[in-house]
Structure 1
Amino acid sequence: MSATSASDSRDAVAAALTTLESAVAGLRRTYGDTLGVRRLASDVSRIRDDLDELGDPQPGRLIPPDGPLETVPDTPYDPQMWVGAQDEGLGAPDRHAP
């Protein structure tokens, strides 16, 4: 993604947030200062802060992918692969948690 494209995306998110802030303000007028409305307002504010923290895109700052994605099959693993293995985080079979 180019810096211009990133800037366009950032601007689009900022515009959407402005619309969302307005919609949440409308909910506040309708529902009052309820927990749900406060949480929505807080979430929108947090997203705005995160967007502001990104700053302006800089050339070379974008991280390209390391390579093509690897597809992991949905077929079950061979049960023999697990023979003799311990369950990670559960400890050895001859011991138990206190």
Structure 2
Amino acid sequence: MSLNDDLTAVQRCLDDLVRSVHRLEQSVGPGGLEIRRVRTDADHLRESLALLRATAPGERSSPEMVLVPDAPYNSALWLDVDDEGLGARDRHAP
């Protein structure tokens, strides 16, 4: 199993846990300290898993390759800029 598969399986289990805690809370009532602790702990687990998923090295897809054409760029695009490090066009470099 890959890391992504494991994280997805844990996410499903946590979703089931949160649903079960919600049903239990409806049966027991929302006011008790114990049920609030269980609900808070389940929420913390979900937040921790989200952080883990965001920072875990994984099988992230590589970014799409951008093709750069071989044709030269239109020189009209660069009329209003100076050559970097060389100064203005009508002057010599130091």
TM-score, length-normalised on structure 1?
0.53
Cα offset for 1:19?
Answer: 0.3
Aligned to 2:17: 20
Aligned to 1:11: 8
Aligned to 1:70: none
**Is 1:45 equivalent to 2:34 in the alignment?**
no
Unpaired runs of 5+ residues, structure 2, are: 59-94
**Identical-residue share of aligned pairs (%):** 29
Higher relative contact order (CA 8 A, sep 6+): 1
How many equivalent residue pairs?
Answer: 56
Aligned residue type for 2:23:
G
Report if the CA contact (8 A) 1:24-1:41 is conserved.
yes
Q: Which has the larger radius of gyration?
A: 2
Name the CA distance, whole Å, in 2 between partners of 1:15 and 1:56: 19
Runs of at least 4 residues off by over 6 Å: none
Question: What are the residue-to-residue correspondences of 1:1-98 with 2, within 5 Å?
Answer: 5-33=2-30, 34-54=32-52, 55=54, 57-58=56-57
Report if the CA contact (8 A) 1:24-1:40 is conserved.
yes
Unpaired runs of 5+ residues, structure 1, are: 60-98
